[in-house]
Amino acid sequence: MHMVQTSSHSRRSSLDSLENSPISSAASPYSLSGFDSSSALVLLPNQDDQDLSGLSSDEDQEEHDPQLEIMKLQISPLPPYAIFLYLLAPYLRVGAILAADRTIPLRLGLFNLFLAAALSAFSRNIWFLLARYLRKSTAEDIFLEMIPKSIGRAKRKRREMIRRLLLCFTGLLRILIVSMYLRASVDSVYPLVLGVLPLKTGLITTVVFGLLTFVVSLPKSLAAKTVICTTWLSIVSYTAWLVAALYNNATGTPMPSPTWLQRGSLWNDYTSIAFSFATSLTVPLSASLVGRPSVPSNKTGRGKYFLTLNLFSAALATLLILPSMLMTSSPNAPGALSDTPNILVHVLRASSLLFAIPSVLVSTPPLPVPTAVRRVFKFDLSKVTLITVVVLLSLAPPSTAATLNDITLLLALTGTYFLPACAHIVIHYFRRPLSIVMPSHSVPNTPHATQAPSPQTISDVLLQRKERSLQRMRLWRRILWDVGVWLLLIPISLFGMIWAGGRLIGRW
């Protein structure tokens, strides 16, 4: 029995053409409505991808080779605990820390928190299913599938230029995020360092933090132990900061000044929580499950495995962010207030952001350095250039920093919530399907047969009933999934973009 997996309603055109044909009429024994268990899954060759010369390249022939898929991974195969780590860590950074400065009512804050967590987990699952359906390991490759493929060397060069442009946007977003983390960590320890370095405090602190970041960001893969350890330290530092903040709130000790003063016009309590659940490494992390012996090899098992990690990371992040939102609404316990700066809170806050930089910087696409230049320099020129740009951006004046933070917020939220929904709709509704279901050419036993049904016939009937039940269940699941995608695209993403545009032009 062949299990048929339909990915969208875009395949209605192919199925409708079969249903309207004589072969699939109501009286035909080959009708698709019967859910014949012996139906065949037929691949549809994409004629747009075929070369004019009629010759296919070796790369196209090896596209579905499992070993080749592992070699093409952006992230080398990671153990399950590392994948869970990189799924959880992005949630516990700037947005989670800013949740402690909540000014909106608690009821609205909790609703925003749970909604953002659910939408983030839903968006991650969209990326995973798209990557599995298209057999792609990067979000850029998935985005390229939204663009119609054309024959010709000039148009292929144009497609390659689009791919490079997408990599530039990905690199820009991660550079802006790293500069934001570095700037926020410097602002956190600035009151402490000001007494030691009264002159050029911000410049010296930024350069020192930049050098430390460069040292721990030298590895080229997220599988490196240095990157994994620093990411764990980031989570531990955030947890320790949360405990210290809760202790201050319980004892009546005043909390330090707000973490971040250059938030920009788009930053508020709602967008801060939405930004805390923004991620950008979902597709490479889900693709890194390929080749792990501890992970199920079939698609269904691997999908459930990633779904479990995804839901558990979102739930745990929600539980770790929730106390910081609750403590701002609870009255302080009676006690002697102290004007002494809470050094521990400042240091832990800065450490959680500083340790979060290596994982983002390592995953940033490297700069295209010519081979001749790489031979001259003995060090990683691309990494040095990226660190230099990050330090310069973190030293920007407050007005420029606010603009950069707005751009970072807009790009991060667009990539997390809007792009996966848009890619799902375009690929499944407007792109031709990868395969369709064709009826079997074997004539099944008709009910007019006079002979008694054999055990094999009874078994086939039971299998067909089971398959029909599975198909109905899959259909309802598909409908609910599409409804969720449309809700994510239109009411949430579209209205959010309209609100952001109005805020940027000063309409509200």
What percent of the chain stands above pLDDT 90?
41
Q: What is the pLDDT of residue 340?
A: 46
> How many other CB atoms are there within 10 angstroms of residue 103's CB atom?
8
Q: What is the pLDDT of residue 470?
A: 83
Instruction: Please give the Cα distance from 277 to 148 (Å, whole number).
Output: 32
> DSSP code of 22?
G
Residue 450, SS3 per DSSP: coil
Q: Which of 215-224, 229-238, 297-306, 485-494 has the lowest mean pLDDT?
A: 297-306
pLDDT digits (tens, 9 = 90+) for 56-106: 333 343 344 444 444 445 667 888 899 999 999 999 999 999 888 888 899
Count of helices and strands (H, E) across the chain: 21, 2
Tell me: pLDDT of 152 over 70: no
Instruction: Please give the Cα distance from 365 to 171 (Å, whole number).
Output: 6
Q: Which of 179-193, 256-270, 314-328, 390-404 has the lowest mean pLDDT?
A: 256-270
- Average pLDDT, rounded, for the chain: 78
Instruction: Please give the Cα distance from 238 to 260 (Å, whole number).
Output: 16
pLDDT digits (tens, 9 = 90+) for 439-476: 555 444 444 444 555 666 767 777 878 888 888 888 88
Question: Is the separation of the CB atoms in 128 and 303 below 8 Å?
Answer: yes
Tell me: pLDDT of 390 over 70: yes
Question: Is the separation of the CB atoms in 385 and 241 below 8 Å?
Answer: no
Q: How far apart are the first and last CA of the chain?
A: 59
pLDDT digits (tens, 9 = 90+) for 239-274: 999 999 888 888 877 666 544 557 788 999 999 999
> pLDDT band at 176, cuts 50/70/90?
very high
Q: In this structure, what token pair is assigned to residue 503? A: 């805020």
Instruction: Please give the Cα distance from 251 to 263 (Å, whole number).
Output: 29
Domain edges within the chain: 47-431
Instruction: Please give the Cα distance from 407 to 195 (Å, whole number).
Output: 33
Over its C-alpha atoms, the chain yields an Rg (Å, rounded) of 27
Tell me: pLDDT of 349 over 90: yes
Q: In this structure, what token pair is assigned to residue 173? A: 């977003």
> pLDDT band at 316, cuts 50/70/90?
very high
The listed CATH number (1.10.4160, 1.10.1060, 2.30.130, 2.40.50) that belongs to domain 47-431 = 1.10.4160
Tell me: pLDDT of 416 over 90: yes
> pLDDT band at 160, cuts 50/70/90?
confident
The residue among 231 and 191 whose pLDDT is bigger is 231
Phi, psi dihedrals of residue 7, rounded to the nearest 5°: -100, -15
Q: What is the largest CA-CA distance in the chain?
A: 101
pLDDT digits (tens, 9 = 90+) for 128-142: 999 988 888 888 899
> How many other CB atoms are there within 10 angstroms of residue 371's CB atom?
6
Q: In this structure, what token pair is assigned to residue 304? A: 């459930």
Q: What is the pLDDT of residue 59?
A: 38
Tell me: pLDDT of 297 over 60: no
The per-residue DSSP string of 62-120 comes to TTT-HHHHHHT-SS----HHHHHHHHHGGGSSHHHHHGGG--S-HHHHHHHHHHHHHHH
Convert 225-272 into a string of H (helix), E (strand) and C (coil).
Answer: HHHHHHHHHHHHHHHHHHHHHHHHHHHCCCCCCCCCCCCCCCCCHHHH
Residue among 333, 305, 385, 286 nearest 74 (CA):
286
Mean pLDDT across the stretch 105-117?
94
90 to each of 158, 185, 215, how far by Cα in Å?
34, 16, 21
